[in-house]
Structure 1
Amino acid sequence: MLVAAGREASESAKQWVYRVLRRNIMTGQFEPGEPVTINGLADALGVSAMPVREALHRLVADGALELLDNRRVRVPDLDPQRFEEVLEARIALETRAAERAMPFIDEIRLARLKAFDQQADQALAVGNFKRLVEANFDFHRCLYEARPGTIMLPLIESLWLRLAPFMRRAGETLSQTYQVDRHAEALAAIVRRDGEALKAAIAADIRDGTGHLGRGHFERIKALGNPG
């Protein structure tokens, strides 16, 4: 089910539709392999087909969606090799982004980071997986954008778009995945101004979260004897 944020006064219909769909993909509202249709999205968002069509074209260019031979559009599914490549790219970019952002984190931003961490903990406690994914991305974005004029965040978000659907694979393994609060480790490192510890916490957070869920998904497919 789409989560539609309010449209800002300065936004055109196509800008708003793109922002809404991008956010929904990034926060795991779509399953890997799930088809999306222009008419279905237009009805769900209460807009005409044109802004949806343009938004889908942009999301295909972003790598968030893929265009099939029959001109249908779906959320891409990753094979194990591609998954590992994107995961390692995320670790490389995000650890560096965190290190570069740390000197710019003041008490106000630190408080925001703690609030997002608390939201993630609360979502985990009640099994609200969608809210957990949102709070997790909000935490990471709040950290990286602390550095003024950063150009790394759009690159990082392009990777989130590719990996986020795997967060829908959480299910029964979610409690096993988040046995250690890596966000708490990251916050402690920021307070100490320890760049190496911050990088280690971010890398571990990505591996324990998205990495664990994605690999578990591929292991289940292998166990079932399904090559796809």
Structure 2
Amino acid sequence: MNETAISKLPVRDRSLTEQVHDALCEMLLGGSMRPQDRTSIRELAEKLGVSAMPVRDAVSRLVAQGALVVERNRAITVKLLSAEEFRDLTEIRILLEREAVRKAVERVTPETLAVLEEINARFEEAMSDPSAPDAVQLNQQFHFRLYEAAGSPTLLHLTTINWLKAGPMINLDLGLPSRRQRNALSVSAHRAMMDGLRNGDPQAAADAVECDIRGAFEFILENTLKTKN
């Protein structure tokens, strides 16, 4: 994140723990916390400008959700999934996210479509420039704005939990200059999703999100997990 995430969160009607939890989720989803990164309650509290207690509570929630791991020395790490764990998570993501995209096609408004167009244009620009720092964040924004358009809080909640575990893995390679093939596939899949939305074609849009997910999985499996596991 470019600035302290917690400062961006609305204070009214939200506990400090919820704000910290959301800030840590953004760090996981947005690429600033990656697999095997190590930190501590103290470091996170200093970074977010809060006391240790709400950080400890938020970390406990993320540990229960499978996004973080607390080691015996109390170090907090982002789990590097095994190939089999990543494969299983990918298949569940495909089931949920295909359904989210289908629903989004049926319910998307012209206003939301315009927002998605704008985000995707910025994403394509970032992916064409390896030095651009925000490709990961724009990818996340595009997907979640699309899934929000489905109008299903339950589906969005389940998708978010899976992204908290998958996000750091997805972000291992996205936007790096050595990953042009994967970048091109992601750009193509996003365009196909947008085409499905514009044309009112839920099957085409769902196929495109599956292509995006599977392409990332296969690339990371071949180029990253084989060297790290």
Q: Normalised by the size of structure 1, how large is the TM-score?
A: 0.89
Q: Find the partner of 2:79 among 52, 76, 95.
A: 76
1:199 matched to 2:206: yes
Instruction: Tell me the equivalent position of 2:11.
Output: 9
Counterparts of 1:26-37 in structure 2, within 5 Å, are 26-37=29-40
> Which amino acid letter does the alignment assign opposite residue 201 of structure 1?
A
- Return the alpha-carbon distance in structure 2 between the equivalents of residues 85 and 149 of structure 1: 23
My pick for the range that moved more, 48-57 or 122-131, is 122-131
- Are the aligned partners of 1:28 and 1:130 in contact in 2 as well (CA < 8 Å)? no
Match of 2:88 among 81, 85, 90: 85
Q: Distance in 1 between matches of 2:118 and 2:217?
A: 21
Match of 1:179 in 2: 184
**1:24-53 Cα distance to aligned partner (Å, 9 max, x none):** 011221121122201111111111111111
Report the residue type matching 1:8 in the other structure: P
Comparing 172-181 with 25-34, greater Cα deviation is found at: 172-181
Identity of aligned residues (%): 29
Distance 1:179 1:7, change over 3 A: closer
TM-superposed CA distance for 1:193, in Å, is: 1.3
Call closer, same or farther: CA 1:57–1:2 in 2, change over 3 Å. farther
The whole-number CA distance in structure 2 between the counterparts of 1:144 and 1:35 is 30
Aligned length: 222
Which of 121, 124, 147 aligns to 1:121? It is: 124
Query: Judging changes above 3 Å, is the alpha-carbon distance between structure 1 residues 136 and 213 closer, same or farther for their aligned structure 2 residues?
Result: same
| Residue type at the aligned position of 1:202 | V
Query: Residues 118 and 2 of structure 1: is their aligned pair in 2 closer, same or farther, counting only changes over 3 Å?
Result: closer
Q: Check whether the contact 1:113–1:139 (CA below 8 A) recurs between aligned residues.
A: yes
Q: Quick one: structure 1 residues 115 and 160, their matched pair in 2 at CA, closer, same or farther if it must change by over 3 Å?
A: same
Measure how far apart 1:183 and its partner are: 1.0
- Residue 217 (structure 1) aligned to one of 211, 224, 229: 224
* 2:114 matched residue in structure 1: 111
Looking at structure 2, the residues matched to 163 and 129 of structure 1 have their Cα atoms a distance apart, in angstroms, of: 22
**In 2 relative to 1, CA 28–43 (structure 1 residues): closer, same or farther, beyond 3 Å?**
same
User: What is the distance in 2 between the residues matched to 1:173 and 1:37?
Assistant: 31
What is the CA–CA distance in structure 2 between the aligned matches of 1:64 and 1:130, rounded to whole Å? 23
Distance in 1 between the 2:125 and 2:81 partners? Answer: 30
Find the counterpart in structure 1 of residue 65 from structure 2. Answer: 62
Bigger mean CA deviation after superposition, 202-211 or 158-167: 202-211
Task: Structure 2: give runs of 5+ residues left out of the alignment.
Answer: none
Gap regions ≥5 residues in structure 1: 222-227
The answer on 1:141 being equivalent to 2:144 is yes
Return the offset for 1:164: 1.4
In the TM superposition, residue 3 of structure 1 has moved relative to its aligned partner by 4.4
| 8 Å contact kept, 1:189–1:197 | yes
Deviations 1:166-187 (A, max 9, x none): 2342134421102242111111
> Which residue of the partner structure matches residue 98 of structure 1?
101
- Structure 1 residues 113 and 47 mapped into 2: Cα distance closer, same or farther (>3 Å)? same
Cα RMSD (Å): 1.9
Larger mean CA deviation between 45-54 and 203-212 belongs to 203-212
Which position in structure 2 is the counterpart of 1:208?
215
Please report the TM-score for the alignment, with normalisation by the length of structure 2.
0.89
Structure 1 Cα separation of the partners of residues 4 and 152 of structure 2: 28
Structure 1 residue identity aligned to 2:10 = E
